[in-house]
Amino acid sequence: MAETSPVFVRSNPRVLGHDPGLGHPESAQRVQVILDVLEPGAAGRWTVDRQAAVPTDEDVLGVLKWIHDEDYIERVRAVSNEGHGWLDTHDCRVSPETFDSAVAAAGLAMNAALDLANRRLDRAFIVLRPPSHHAERDSARGYCFFNSVAVAAEVVVGSLGEPVVIVDFDAHHGNGTQKHFFDRGDVGYVSVHTYPGFPGTGTADEIGVGEGLGTTRNMPLVAGADDSIYCAAFEEALDEVASRLRPAAIIVSAGFDAHPSDPIGAMRVSEAGFRRLSAAVTATAHRWASGRVLSFLEGGFDRQALANCARIHVEELASGDAEKADA
């Protein structure tokens, strides 16, 4: 467990196609700046594959049906085919490429999960868009169309027959992810986020139901929280749920919009704060999950801050220092 294994950074040109329009914060350039800053690699600590394989659309849609209603999936396809418009909410603007990009994003998540389950990788950062965590079973929301993070969790749990914990440090609550796994005892969900604020969910008393009671842990924080508040809340919730579920892998909704420069987020988490959040993920993975982490891009809309924070995130994922587990 002390060895340093490389982080696989993956993307695919198909995720660049989705175009919500000029001036929209969720742009293809977000992926480009992250890949550009990571591309040089760092002495074998990570590798960047801009053309990572995705399964066939048929295979991806087969898994997406576990997460979304077929009617909804077909609605995303139909609105994309019509061209430019929007789906469900005005922040989910659609272009002719939206369906293809969203399927490719889910496909990247599916392949990463299969590779983790088959021990072909231990850690990966998947640079995908559209993002995931606001997408619900039957509706698009908050720039999200399909829930790729939920795809990854379902595939890992289904393949390994062991629990996973999804951790979400995006500045917004992952309403779609929480809802999908709310009654599940085998998938934990931990979120630190702004409250009150979009999407309006994620209060501390939302803790799961039935077999899922106690597997959801929300840390709602008022706007303006800094590193000390944001990171401490995240670490507390992560430790609580991970020690309860003893997951086989940690899955990350990695949003970087809690950065002070972000035009949408209202938090004050510095680059040092994102290093601390990422280090907590790695340490928890070493303690409970043999170091296994699958991380997926969510928000983050100031491109310079996004690039810096994504690099810091990957640096920490690449840290194979098992001693961190005892820190």
* Three-state DSSP state, 276: helix
Q: Distance (Å, rounded) from C-alpha 164 to C-alpha 112? A: 14
Closest CB 15 distance from Zn ion, rounded Å: 17
Cα within 13 Å of Cα(42), Cβ side: 19
Is 131 among the residues that bind Zn ion (CB under 5 A)? no
Q: Distance (Å, rounded) from C-alpha 265 to C-alpha 194? A: 8
Inter-CA distances, 300 with 29, 112, 114, 154, 170, Å: 11, 22, 27, 25, 8
User: Would you say 10 and 112 are in contact if contact means Cβ atoms under 8 Å apart?
Assistant: yes
User: Would you say 284 and 239 are in contact if contact means Cβ atoms under 8 Å apart?
Assistant: yes
Closest CB 170 distance from Zn ion, rounded Å: 4
Window contacting Zn ion (CB under 5 A); options: 84-92, 93-101, 255-263, 281-289:
255-263
> Which is nearer to Zn ion, 208 or 255 (by Cβ)?
255
Q: Distance (Å, rounded) from C-alpha 127 to C-alpha 122? A: 16
Closest CB 172 distance from Zn ion, rounded Å: 4
If binding means CB under 5 A, how many residues of this protein chain bind Zn ion?
A: 6
Window contacting Zn ion (CB under 5 A); options: 36-44, 148-156, 167-175, 275-283:
167-175
Among 93, 172, 180, 184, binds Zn ion (CB under 5 A): 172
Window contacting Zn ion (CB under 5 A); options: 147-155, 172-180, 204-212, 306-314:
172-180
Among 134, 172, 193, 313, which one carries the catalytic annotation? 134
Is 176 among the residues that bind Zn ion (CB under 5 A)? no
Among 19, 170, 186, 235, binds Zn ion (CB under 5 A): 170
Q: Distance (Å, rounded) from C-alpha 138 to C-alpha 70? A: 9
Window contacting Zn ion (CB under 5 A); options: 71-79, 99-107, 163-171, 273-281:
163-171
Q: Distance (Å, rounded) from C-alpha 55 to C-alpha 322? A: 33
Closest CB 173 distance from Zn ion, rounded Å: 9
Closest CB 142 distance from Zn ion, rounded Å: 7
24 phi and psi angles, rounded to 5 deg: -70, 135
Window contacting Zn ion (CB under 5 A); options: 15-23, 154-162, 164-172, 207-215:
164-172
> Which is nearer to Zn ion, 288 or 301 (by Cβ)?
301
User: Would you say 167 and 317 are in contact if contact means Cβ atoms under 8 Å apart?
Assistant: no
Concerning whether 134 is annotated as a catalytic residue, the answer is yes
Closest CB 306 distance from Zn ion, rounded Å: 11
Is 255 among the residues that bind Zn ion (CB under 5 A)? yes
User: Would you say 273 and 171 are in contact if contact means Cβ atoms under 8 Å apart?
Assistant: no
Q: What's the chain's Rg over C-alpha atoms?
A: 18
> Which is nearer to Zn ion, 107 or 255 (by Cβ)?
255
| Contact map string, positions 281 to 310, toward Zn ion, x by CB under 5 A | ------------------x-----------
Q: Distance (Å, rounded) from C-alpha 266 to C-alpha 40? A: 32
Among 26, 88, 154, 257, binds Zn ion (CB under 5 A): 257
Which residues contact residue 274 at a Cβ distance below 8 angstroms, ignoring those fewer than 6 apart? 256, 259, 309, 312, 313
Give the start-end residues of each E strand in 114-186.
123-126, 164-168
Is 273 among the residues that bind Zn ion (CB under 5 A)? no
> Which is nearer to Zn ion, 194 or 319 (by Cβ)?
194
Name residue 136's amino acid.
Answer: E
* Active-site annotation, residues: 134
In the complex, the residues that contact Zn ion under the rule CB under 5 A are: 170-172, 255, 257, 299
